[in-house]
Structure 1
Amino acid sequence: MNQPANLFDESHCEQCACGEGLDFSFTFAFQPIIDAQNRSVYAYEALVRGPGGQGAMSVLNRVNEQNRYSFDQICRVKAVKLASRLGMEAMLSINFMPNAVYRAEYCIRTTLAAAKTYNFDTRKIIFELTEDENLSSVDHLVSIIEAYQEMGFSTAIDDFGAGYSRYNIMMASPPDLLKLDMALVRNIHEQPNKQAVVAGIITMMKQLGGRIVAEGVETREEYFWLRSQGINLYQGYLFAKPGFECLPEPVFPS
């Protein structure tokens, strides 16, 4: 993994906080993660968008090896700033790029500074790993998760069940949250094989002391089957679509 020559100095952090190295702008939409048991919003996930509401890929396609670190850092700052401006009281889930985190305790400094500047409680931040990023070292990812948890942040693995398996991470350093991939969720109420896989994941997370988020839920049938299995946290169009620079109010099925 190539590291910037001046990675570990004050000036580099300041440059990343200002978005140096980026020749494009972006913002966020927020989608709620609901707690069905309490009928409340547990968290909002910050989803990157173009400045005019363009889709995530219009932004992510411009991220490369040269600007990856700056992009990851400015994502955190922008997400915290916008969440604070919108008066977010729920948790804030921010996707992070493991290949842009060279040393967790150092790279977190811009996030901590932003939280202080915008008066956002760092205990409400969830760092969410997208599971299918091809990492060169699982040990590196485990060190990030452990460092973030020691600092008081919550951690999550996104899209569990798709792409690269992360069971080795689950054994080494389980995250606080595991988000079921929507491919597992889709039509689960009528597919016994999927039901068996998800039942195993539920048992695993209970024993590891973490919680499951079922994401990509689109139908009442999917929702009610998952609820019958004891899952309480959900994300998907059934509850609310992402709101561009706003915090949409979710619908709670009954």
Structure 2
Amino acid sequence: MVSQLNVRRTILIVEDEPINRKMLENIVKDSYDVIFATDGLKTIDVIRENSDVISLILLDLMMPDMDGYEVLEFMHNDKILKQIPVIVCTTERESEVRCFKLGAVDFISKPFSHPMVIRARIDRAIELREGRGLIHATQNDALTGLLTHDFFMEYSHFRDMHYATPGMDAIVFNVNRFHLINELQGRRAGDDVLIKIGDSIKHIARDRGGISGRGGADEFLLYIPSGSDYDELLKEIGRGLEDILNNSRVYLRMGIYRNVNTDISVEHRFDKARVACNSIRGNYNIQSAIYDEDMHDKEALNERLINDMARGIKERQFTVYYQPKYAIQGDRDSLYGAEALVRWEHPELGLLRPDKFVPLFEDNGLIHQLDHYVWDEVSKQVGEWMVNYDLKIPVSVNVSRVDIGAPNLEEEIFTTVQNNWISPGMLNLEITESAYTENSDQIINVVKSLRERGFAIEMDDFGTGYSSLNMITSLPIDILKLDMQFVKNIHEGNKDMKMVELMIDIARSLKVKVVAEGVETKEQYDLLKAAGCDVIQGFYFSMPCVPKEFEKLIEKENGELQREVEEALQ
């Protein structure tokens, strides 16, 4: 496949004899660009300066200052330079074994004869070298026919080596919520979408002199000369997708790293494009984003947070705040429980809210370590409150999609509560609705096991995902938690209120409690209470607070309970 690039490679001829240099140049100049060196020291400088473009070295052994053996040894000890194939040109047949041990790939005897044979051996050495870089990657994706991720990266690297293109763009495409296509329309429909996108990507690459590939799942890669109209690219890819899905729309998003820096690796260039692409994930109003300095700064910050996380856990820089929950359907509003919210008291960056690091840790597979830390901290705190105040306060903690895939998750959480001498019922486990829809079978099995252990399960952000009613009835849950986006706009008789009432009716039919979050006003409180909502949380009652502040609410609740007991005894 390398030969299909149809590009001129560069050969370094190392020869101090002018006649021999000219003979070798005449043999290869029709198909290769040629650079020269006349002694060993000069050779090292030339190789260092041109290592990214040299495809092969024709090396004389006998030279002034530094001989060919020393050049071979120098290259052999360098991880990058040792990859360049070297054909030794010499009259000394007895030196072959020594040269092979130092990394030479072939020999050409002096005086030079049979030019066609020499050319064939040079061609073959280059072909084998370039093939080695690709041999570990399967060339084409079985579904779309595009280059696979590894082959795409290697191929793009060779393209940069051999094409003098003034500027290139690295582009990453994704499909927003692609998993829902598989869930709602079937895997075949999802495959049809990927195939159609793949065909469009191939045409774009062919028309613009670029390279196309599939990064995996619903990610596509495009490496093309700068100057394309990005909106037109999206339109070109989107044409025909609606017909595939019976007029359902496919939402594409695109991240672009323009006029790439060729001093960084191809993989890193596409990492930057991916950062841009991910910056608009879930935003249906914006379909493309260009990597810029702000993203660079954010990328640098994210890298720092990732590197600092382990130390932060070890030094207990993460603090758990508690958002109070109040039951509102009795004669009075009573403290029902709390939701655990983590903050990072970074020693140099100050107090960081969870939106600054939780999504980052989720994307990088690190969230399980932080979640386990929070589970343990909450379990300890709940145990202390039970002892100090003789009051059971169940606290909700997050269980992320990453946690669901952890081996022995049920045993891990159960051991955590046991070690802190509390019952599983004191730790409510929150799982987002979108997590259920992404991998429903696995999550349902895990959740069933957790409920059997005694844990209560909350479906968080209910109403923001795409669960079918049939699916909801089969989910093992104890509490539905209404997303704050529904609550913030409710007014008497408006559409948002009707939607909230509908979701509360669904919860009643499932015989599960309803928690509304983000309640801030008296009007919201009154409407939710009238609609039959069981529990609310939000600034109407209290902001998230540290344990000492939350304990004041516990003491107040105990005082109310004591007063009720005394009144009952009178």
TM-score class normalised by the smaller sequence: 0.7 to 0.9
**Aligned in 2, Cα 1:66/1:194: closer, same or farther, shift over 3 Å?**
closer
**1:199-229 Cα shifts (integer Å, max 9, x gaps):** 2212111111101111101000011011111
Q: Give the alignment partner of residue 335 of structure 2, picking from 41, 48, 52.
A: 41
Larger mean Cα displacement after TM superposition, 48-57 or 223-232: 48-57
Counterparts of residues 94-243 of structure 1 (less than 5 Å)? 94-102=397-405, 106-133=408-435, 136-165=438-467, 167=469, 169-190=471-492, 192-243=494-545
**Aligned in 2, Cα 1:218/1:166: closer, same or farther, shift over 3 Å?**
farther
Partner of 1:7: none
The alpha carbon displacement at 1:103 in A equals: 6.0
Letter in 1 for 2:310: L
Q: Which structure: larger Rg?
A: 2
Q: Give the alignment partner of residue 57 of structure 1, picking from 355, 378, 390.
A: 355
Give the SS at the match of 1:24.
Answer: helix
Letter in 2 for 1:245: P
1:29 aligns with 2:301: no
Give the SS at the match of 1:243.
Answer: coil
**1:25-66 Cα shifts (integer Å, max 9, x gaps):** 312100111011342211111111113653113441551434
CA RMSD of aligned residues (A): 2.7
Comparing both structures, which one devotes a greater share of its residues to helix?
A: 2
Does the 8 Å contact 1:131/1:166 carry over to 2?
A: no
Does the 8 Å contact 2:463/2:483 carry over to 1?
A: yes
Partner of 1:249: 553
Partner of 1:84: 383
Does the 8 Å contact 2:436/2:443 carry over to 1?
A: no
CA distance in 2, matches of 1:178, 1:69: 23
Does the 8 Å contact 2:521/2:540 carry over to 1?
A: yes
**1:98-140 Cα shifts (integer Å, max 9, x gaps):** 3222367x21323222322222222221101133458641112
CA distance in 2, matches of 1:81, 1:199: 37
Residue ranges of structure 2 left out of the alignment (5+ in a row): 1-308, 558-570
**Aligned in 2, Cα 1:214/1:136: closer, same or farther, shift over 3 Å?**
closer
CA distance in 2, matches of 1:194, 1:41: 27
Give the SS at the match of 1:108.
Answer: helix
TM-score, with structure 2 as normaliser: 0.37
Percent identity (aligned): 26
Does the 8 Å contact 1:99/1:135 carry over to 2?
A: no
Does the 8 Å contact 1:174/1:210 carry over to 2?
A: no
CA distance in 1, matches of 2:448, 2:338: 23
Give the SS at the match of 2:491.
Answer: helix
CA distance in 2, matches of 1:212, 1:230: 9
**Aligned in 2, Cα 1:239/1:76: closer, same or farther, shift over 3 Å?**
same
Give the SS at the match of 2:324.
Answer: strand
Does the 8 Å contact 1:184/1:194 carry over to 2?
A: yes
Give the SS at the match of 1:31.
Answer: strand
CA distance in 2, matches of 1:157, 1:70: 22
Letter in 1 for 2:440: V
The alpha carbon displacement at 1:196 in A equals: 1.9
